[in-house]
């Protein structure tokens, strides 16, 4: 029985997909912040598609082992963003998960086109199915995982923008402890079964919705 959620022979594909998914996610944060007036990430070399600028090795390892993880947080100074600051901050934070949503949708579209219309050998079709399967799953996992309102994830950074400033400062005192509790949810199976697993079950309806949208778009042009 494998300790991982994938076949070990698929590890090279997994690594490639993880690197690309993390890179575009963090690039989305950095580029949006730069366009909205904050050059902090730009000066730190984060407005780039170079994966080495974005990889957090613990989060990278966690994604390999558990199926979800994170990259290096992009430095953002809200005071440098265009007004209204909170709206700009929400846009910067949301762009990371949005990039994973777009990547997953592109994967669904290309997979449907290639696997249904391209003349591929059985061997090549199997390889393409494997690649796009992981591409879609990992990007959807990152989308859903990052929307959890727990520090240091994007969902928390979005949620805190709707709180009064005093409440935000109070929560900052407990962020590190909340993170350790969150790790228990990740690594203790009974806790994960009633918290994270139901969240990741949303992949299926999202995927079906994407497939229907792609088919509808194809029907418009065929």
pLDDT of residue 4: 63
Task: Give CA–CA dist 92/62, Å, rounded.
Answer: 24
Helix axes 203-221, 85-117, angle to 10 degrees: 70
Of 194 and 132, the one with more pLDDT: 132
The active-site residue, picked from 26, 78, 175, 204, is: 26
Q: What is the pTM of this model?
A: 0.90
Give the up-direction half-sphere exposure of residue 43: CA atoms within 13 A in the CB hemisphere: 7
CA 52 to chain centre: 17
| pLDDT tens profile 101-142 | 999 999 999 999 988 888 888 888 889 999 999 999 999 999
Please give the structure tokens belonging to residue 203: 């992949």
- Our answer to whether residue 26 is catalytic in this structure is yes
Contact 108, 210 (CB under 8 A): yes
Which of 55-59, 73-77, 96-100 is predicted least confidently? Answer: 55-59
Scanning the chain, the segments in alpha helix (DSSP H) are 11-35, 40-43, 57-66, 85-117, 122-146, 154-159, 165-172, 175-187, 189-194, 196-200, 203-221
Segment 6-64, tens digit of pLDDT: 788 888 999 999 999 999 999 999 999 999 999 999 999 999 999 999 998 888 888 78
Q: What is the mean pLDDT of the chain?
A: 89
* Tokens, residue 94: 């949301």
Spatial distance between the Cα atoms of 69 and 73, rounded to a whole number of angstroms: 12
**CB 151, CB 178: distance < 8 Å:** yes
- Higher pLDDT, residue 2 or 89: 89
Say whether pLDDT at 1 is over 50.
no
Mean pLDDT score, 63-92: 88
Report in angstroms the alpha-carbon separations of 52 from 31, 55, 65, 98.
16, 6, 20, 21
Q: What is residue 214's predicted lDDT score, i.e. its pLDDT?
A: 94
pLDDT at 184 over 60: yes
> Cβ–Cβ contacts within 10 Å for residue 118, how many?
10
């Amino acid at each position: 029985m494998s300790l991982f959620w994938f076949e070990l022979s698929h590890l090279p594909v997994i690594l490639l997909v993880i690197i690309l998914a993390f890179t575009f996610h963090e690039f989305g944060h950095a580029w949006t912040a730069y366009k909205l007036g904050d050059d902090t990430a730009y000066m730190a070399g984060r407005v780039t598609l170079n994966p080495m600028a974005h990889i957090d090795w613990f989060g990278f390892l966690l994604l390999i082992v558990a199926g979800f993880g994170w990259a290096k947080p992009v430095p953002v100074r809200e005071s440098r963003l265009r007004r209204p600051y909170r709206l700009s901050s929400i846009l910067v934070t949301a762009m990371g998960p949005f990039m994973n949503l777009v990547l997953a949708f592109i994967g669904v579209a290309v997979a449907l086109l290639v696997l249904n219309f391209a003349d591929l050998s059985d061997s090549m079709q199997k390889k393409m199915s494997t690649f796009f399967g992981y591409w879609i799953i990992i990007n959807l996992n990152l989308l859903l995982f990052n929307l959890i309102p727990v520090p240091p994830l994007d969902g928390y950074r979005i949620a805190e923008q709707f709180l009064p400033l005093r409440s935000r400062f109070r929560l900052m005192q407990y962020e590190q402890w909340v993170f350790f509790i969150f790790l228990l949810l990740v690594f203790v199976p009974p806790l994960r079964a009633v918290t994270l697993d139901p969240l990741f079950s949303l992949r299926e309806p999202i995927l079906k919705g994407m497939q229907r949208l792609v088919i509808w778009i194809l029907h418009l042009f065929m």
